[in-house]
Amino acid sequence: MRINKLFPIICAIICLGIPFSQAVQLSDKDSGQIARVVGFLLSQTHFKRAALDDEISKQFLRKYMESLDYSRMVFLKSDFDEFSKKYGTLLDNLTKRGNVSPAFEIHKRYITRLKTSHSWLEEIINKEFNFSLDETFTPDRTKSNWPKDEEDAKNLWGKRVKYEVLGNRLSKRRSVEALKAKTDGNEEIKKTDGTPVKLYNIKEEKEKILRRYERFLRVRTDMDSGDVLQYYLTALSNGYDPHSDYFSPREAENFEINNIKLSLTGIGARLQWDDGYTKLIELVPGGPAIKSKKLKPGDRITAVAQGDKGEPVDVFEMELDKVVDKIRGEKGTIVRLTIIPADAADDSETKEVSLIRDKIKLTDSLAKGQVVDYPDMSRLGVIDLPQFYENCARDVSIILDRFKKEKVNGIVLDLRRNGGGLLPEAVKLAGLFIEEGPMVQVIDSRQRKQILKDNDAKIGYNGPMIVLVGKLSASASEIVAAALQDYGRAVVVGSQSTHGKGTVQTVMPLTNWVRIKDPGKLKLTISKFYRIAGGTTQKQGVKPDLILPNPYDYMDIGEAKLPNSLAADHTDPLNYRRLNLVKDYVETLSSKSTDRIKKDQDFSYILEDIETLKKRLKDKSLSLNEFKRLKEKDEDKAKRDNRKKERKTRGSTEETIYDVTIKMIQKNIALGEDLEEEEKPIRLKEENDEEEENDEEEEGPKLDPHLRETLHILQDYIQLLDSDKQIARKLNG
């Protein structure tokens, strides 16, 4: 089985939330035809095969109103109650009849309420705020109720604007001492030549916020019928599962064309519009974003600047396609992103990241290897596979052959950042570590089962092995980890569970069903993955044999966190030959790992961060008291500085690391290099192309805490296996 080529390639780059570059006006008749077909296809071809009924209708209505008013500050509770009574169990019937009038009626009410809200803003934003009061505001209102009346809504907007003004003040890195010295809201520093430079001007910041909301009102007011239908039918699709969406004609065009250009000359990131922010969902292997080591999934972009000296442009509440246009640019040019880190204490904690736009090369996305040498311990190998691309199993096999020449005694297959890719390649890759057998079951909406097998008896590597996974390991990478775990072939180590995406989507052009020029496309879930042992990776992911502490486990990441995600169920297990190389050793390996983690300073920091994160998630409200917030910022900064100082005092690491790439190996093969008699591997180096610049020297150890501990677990595993082999030889001798 091969997943639709277009979808995984594009989705690895960027998913749009509210795009659009040209007006698309659809007549009521055309909109109705499209809606009727989308409803029919969802009910007949979606994996759930659920009828478009009253239950879907209720979810449809709520999702549509939430998608328009994601912060739940525009509609009033009376609006939701009114539309629920009027349309709550009627949208299904209207959709079947091709009637989309509720979409435009509800949107019209939204615009009316938004204009009312906007009429309060100038009064709110121009008043003098008192930041010494003990007030709080919860920015994330996705699970809150809509305001009960206009007075309640106005109070919410007042706190929202105050929160943003305070956030801008705090983002200028003011300290408690600076606050005590100056309380007028403006702050200056003096350059080395004595020239005063204004760091913060409250009037300018307020005007900037007001312009942002004016832009937001203009964008929402200018929505055409194609835009409205996009929101409406995506809300219907999301009623079936979170991965099903409707693409309007303009959305489909951006999805297929503009996003690919971004991947070719940009920063290499999958972006999503989220509650007014442009959010990084995934970093493309080999792109400037992932190479910088300064960005990660969950980071939110608040401003974009061009070149070394360009003025940052505020992109909060800006349409996603316009943000993409600002990020995209010529190869070799600089773009500066102001971001709120995913693990930031609050939205005022920002930092600027400078990136050089580049074309993402295929070689940057290839599997890579490392040979890790320890004094007086086994030599180990690490394979980092960023995605399942065409022929990736062949490339991993090439690295394994090199590892044999290097006399590697055990390997780690690192899939922590692997979000999936081509399913057949995942099957082939898992097959490198067993003789032959089934790898995954795929069941479609009609309950037809397809079993994907490895039919090649050749084994690429039969030694001790660990699969390292994380919360970002999804889809095909989960299939590999699950198969090797079910066979008892490899120890699985990592987060509490992987991402949990066990579904397959396809993109269907609607031209075969709707006779208009361009009716758009429907992305819908058509199949589901099941493990060979009968369970599924859907929603619950793969649970490792050994769990390492990780803050990602406590963030809102993963399939289980998405509304309407398909349930985790099971099917009949297959017949396969278990190797049973893991079960007897898990308890001992876990005990040894736990003892090390208790003594490891980096894991101490990780556990400390987890506790802080749990407290913040328990109470998502933020103080509007400037002194309290600055004190928290000062404490966080002091903590980070102390950690940096502590790390600098450490001695050199015990391991020596040698990089291995496909290009290096192929070059060595061409030169006829023979390593059989080498005691130690030669550090493999690759000359940069003439137009490439050398990367800056990395700071700190090359192995992150989780990979370092995984290698220690692998050392323990090798020793346990060797011990059992020696006992077996004595018994047989």
Where does residue 580 fall: left (phi above 0), alpha (psi -120 to 50 degrees), or beta otherwise? left
Given 248, 365, 397, 475, the catalytic residue: 475
**Within 10 Å of residue 313's Cβ, how many Cβ atoms?**
14
How many Cα neighbours within 13 Å face the side chain of 470? 20
**SS3 per-residue string spanning 113-176:** HHHHHHHHHHHHHHCCCCCCCCCEECCCCCCCCCCCCHHHHHHHHHHHHHHHHHHHHHCCCCCH
Sequence-separated (6 or more) residues with CB below 8 Å from residue 182: none
Burial class (CB in 10 A: 0-12, 13-18, 19+), 376: exposed
| Phi, psi dihedral angles at 19 (to 5 degrees) | -100, -170
Q: Are 67 and 235 in contact (CB under 8 A)?
A: yes
**SS3 per-residue string spanning 476-536:** HHHHHHHHHHHCCCCEEEECCCCCCCCEEEEEEEHHHCCCCCCCCEEEEEEEEEECCCCCC
Token readout for 167 is 């956030």
Cα–Cα dist 269/176, whole Å: 36
Given 63, 501, 521, 528, the catalytic residue: 501
Answer yes or no: 501 catalytic: yes
Given 486, 545, 553, 716, the catalytic residue: 486
Answer yes or no: 486 catalytic: yes
Answer yes or no: 244 catalytic: no
**Cα dist. 68→129, 209, 280, 553 in Å?**
29, 20, 21, 30
**Cα dist. 278→132, 208, 441, 519, 548 in Å?**
31, 18, 36, 27, 30
Give the CA radius of gyration of the chain.
28
Cα–Cα dist 420/500, whole Å: 12
As a 3-state breakdown, the chain gives helix, strand, coil percent values, each rounded to 5, of: 45, 15, 40
Give the three-state DSSP class for 452.
strand
Give the three-state DSSP class for 224.
coil
Cα–Cα dist 659/145, whole Å: 53
**Within 10 Å of residue 521's Cβ, how many Cβ atoms?**
22
Q: Which residues are catalytic?
A: 475, 486, 501
